[in-house]
Structure formats: C-alpha cells, structure tokens
A and B are shown apart, each in its own frame.
Chain A
C-alpha cells in the first residue's frame, strides 16, 4: 500500500538516471542556475522574515502581559488560512501602479509616472514579504508551545540568578527552543519551495515555475522531472533538518509538570511596542487583504455567483471531501498497522508514504502523470489488441489522478493526527478493556473510535482545507475543462481580473478559517489547563 503511494517520488528520483535530452542540456546551460539562485534567495528571505516575526510574537504572547495579549494568542494564527497566491494578488491590486494607493498618492501630490519611488510588489522582495506573512505562524506555533512548555523552571532559575528578560531570552529560552524553532522553520521553507501561485504570478523564475514552463512550454517531460528531482534534493535536505530537530525537541521536552510562569508585565511604550509587533503581521497578513477581497467581492459577487460558480464549489468540496476521507482511512489503516505490527518494514513504509507532504505539488503531479500515462498506454494497447476498442485515458486525464496526487501529498497530515490520537490510547487501556470481557473488535468500537473521534475530525478537516487551497498539482492533473475554486481564482487573477476572483478567494479563506479557529481553540484550552495546575 505504502509502496503505491511512493510511486510518484520514486518516478522522479529514477528520472535522474534517464538519458538527457537536448532540452535538459539547454536548460542546464541557461536557466537552471537562475532557478537555483532565485530559490535559494527566496528561502533565505522567507526563512529570516518568518523567523523574526514568528519568534518575536511567540515570545511576547508566551511570556509577557500587554493589552490584547489573550486575543493575539489565537488571532496571530489567522494568516495561516490565507493561501499565499491570494495574498499576493490582493496586494498587487492594492499597491500596483494602477492600484488605489498609488493613484491616491498621484492625485494628492500631482506627481506623475516615475516622479516618485514606490516599492515594486511584483518582485523577489514582494514574494518574500507575501510568503513570510502567511507562513510565519508555523514558527509561531511551535516556538510558542516550547516557550510555554519547557523553560518555565529553567527561566525562573535564571531570573533568580539575576537575568533580565533580554538575557533570559537570549541565553536560556532561545537556545532551549532552538530545535522547535528549526522544525517550524523547515516547515516554512518546505512550503516556500512548494509555492507555485505566488512566484508564478510575480513572474519569478524558481523551480516550481521552471517545471511548469518545461512541462507546458517545451513539452519535455523528462527534463521537467529532472528539474523536479533537483528540487527534491532541496526538500530532502529540509526533511532531514526537520527530523533531526524534532528528535532533539523531544529530548528537551521531557521536563515534568507545567507550572505557570509569572509573566513579564509590560507597561507604557513597551506595552505599545509589543502590541504593534503582534498587530502588524496580523494586519498585513490577514486583515488588510481580507478586507480588500471583501470590498472587491461586494462589487462583483452578483456577476460571479452563477451556475458555474456553484459547480466550482461542488468540485472543490467533492475533491476535498473525497481526498480527506481516503487519506484518513488510509492513515487509520497504517497507524493501526504500525501499532499491531511494529516491525521495521511497517515503519519504513509509513515513513516513505508520509514524505509526500514535504514534496511540492508540482513534483508530485509530474511524478503521478508519468506512471499513470504509461499505465494508460498499456491498458489502451491491451484493449485494442484484445477487443479492438480504445480505452483512452482511464487514469491520467481524470479525477483519479488528481485524487491520487492529493492523497500522496496530504497523507502525512492525516497520519500525524491519527497517530497522535492513537498515542493517547495507552496499551494498558486495550488490555484493561479485554480483561473486562471485550473482544478485540468490540474494543475498537468502545475504546479506540470514541477516543480518536476528535483527532480523526482534525485530520479530515485539515486535509479538506489543504485540498481546497491546493493549486499546482490541480493545474497539471485536472481533467480538461474541470475547475476548482483555487484554480479559478488563480486564473482570473492571472488575467488581471482581480476583483472578479475575490469571491472564489474569499470562499477558500472562509473554509480555511475553520481548522485555524479549531486549532486556536485547542491552544487556548491547553492554556486554561495550565492555569489550573
């Protein structure tokens, strides 16, 4: 089972060994170094911005008391609901030359074109800003929970040893939280590498856009998959970084009971500084673009909401729901299998199957379509030779391929949720149930299923939303004339019909808010529990 799921990645890896065509040589001579350079620049930029925003807000909301702090704890997560490409074109609409902001400046000052300096949104630094604004919550989440969890005792000790807040931060809290921060950072970087919508809208040459150009522009599948293989190399480096830092984080987390840390009370300009630090990313990452989209949607929704729009919603929901159910069922199967048969093979196959999440959608799409097309060709020629009918494309041009790609990409998400749910059920509970007269199947229904309800729901929800937002794999794999909300929003935006795309974009954001709010509810619950101890 897990083997089937790793087919796309294996396809990409094996493409390295295929003979090189002219196109590949040409690409290597011309654009490859540009792609590598741009990708590196992008991940460095996004990485450092996300670190700065994520760690500072995490520290402030975990350790300090200032006006609005309790709200910020969960509000700061909201940008997670924003797909980067939507934020990107919203900002473009607002700050472009023809946008309301620059127009207002010109009207007010009477300046003309090129009379003044205004930062170019559609640029590398623009892309870095957009991606950091929506991705910093990964760092924020992980950093904040470690600040809360591990360092309380240590930090109190350092306070008794005459350390001021800044010293505690630099000398104690930051080094202790480093593994968790690194794990969050590697998630940010994976998402950055996987991003297609933003970079393509901004016209930047990085790997994901390069794969698209090679695929659709040159029609060279081998070259495209070789490009994908180079991208995979980066991704694997990040996976290793993440794994290593997670292991270390586990090691550090073993401190016993949680006690409530006496927060630093911030007053005067310090309090306002903290307020600003937290509200700027929230404003720029969520409130401003959401408000702009809302204004646009007010103007255009009556034109946009029609039969076709309803069909888009139906398609998106269908795909999201289908992929969510399939991947959660698979995750349950794999997770339970790991528990019953904790052999090496099981663990290795689960590891391989769950790498998908780190792999960019573009890469997976290429990896899916190559073996599927081959299989289709085989089936077709078999059908033609045996019954004389052409079966056409059964797999590669259909929803099957799209669904398969989603499952490969998002299985890890559901697997993680399911495994954490299973982890809460101690082995002794199973033993207890059986010693109280439950047969194995009855135990599953009486103990496992009720206890895992919430984590399974979380998994369903997250996969659903991820699929709703997914862009590159859908773009490559979707059947002819088949559209989703994400694809439509992106297409309209690419056609410079920004206002028209806002209704679809808002729908995606609205659905995406559900798991974010749910997540934040969990966070505030754990905070309450802490208060009780």
Chain B
C-alpha cells in the first residue's frame, strides 16, 4: 500500500525572486524538443514586464487528475511511468484540441500549445523531459536556480 506505487507526477517549481528574466528556460525547452528556438515552440513560457521588472512563467503544473488525459479521444495524452508526467504523444495526436479545452489553466495560461506542420495541428505540453535522465532541461540550465524539479515522491 505504499504511495510510491501510484505514479504521482513531479512538477517544476518556480521562484520568481530568483528569476533574472533571461528566458533560457524557454529557449532551452524549445531547442531540446524541437531542435529550433521560438517561444511558440516552447513548453514553458517566460513573460517579462520590463517596465515593472517582474517576470512570470507559464508551464503545466502536472495536476493530480489531468483533464487533458481523460478527455483525449485517441489516448494521445499519456502518463509517463518514470516521472509521472502527463504528455502528448505527437504521433497519435489528431489535433482536435480537446485537451486544451479540458485544461483548468487554459486559456488564462498557455500551457498547452500547438504547431501547424503540413496543415496539421499537433499539440504539445511540458513532459518534464521524461526521456532525459538529467531531468528537465529548463531546470538544468536556469542560471540562477529559479526553477526546481520536484519529483512525484517529494511532492507528497
């Protein structure tokens, strides 16, 4: 009956007071996942208010009962066995956008995005870099440790 048997997801914790607004998280995410750099291709987005000096990030919080997971009609939204991350299998995604609608953070926070390649929408979201043994790339590259990866075990 150990709680470890349940795949609780880890998540990325943000400390705005340590953030210098460099955007490295966003660039690195886009680079790692898409081999290209563009905020619209990143699973994590940095918003800068240059005039007040405030920054904030938007990234999936990996919620406990992910609506995107339950609603997907083709089971393209999956849960990773190792990290517990909810992710979208791009090969299966049919681009219907239901996941986006089911997300409690959307549309206020852009945590599920899509790209249009060959006239087809493909949705994507943060997968906690499930295939990287070093953990999420944004956390590893953040110059000031403003991002921290909390594993599923530590989260509860």
A associates with B: no
Q: Which residues of B contact A (CB under 8 A)?
A: none
Q: Which residues of A contact B (CB under 8 A)?
A: none
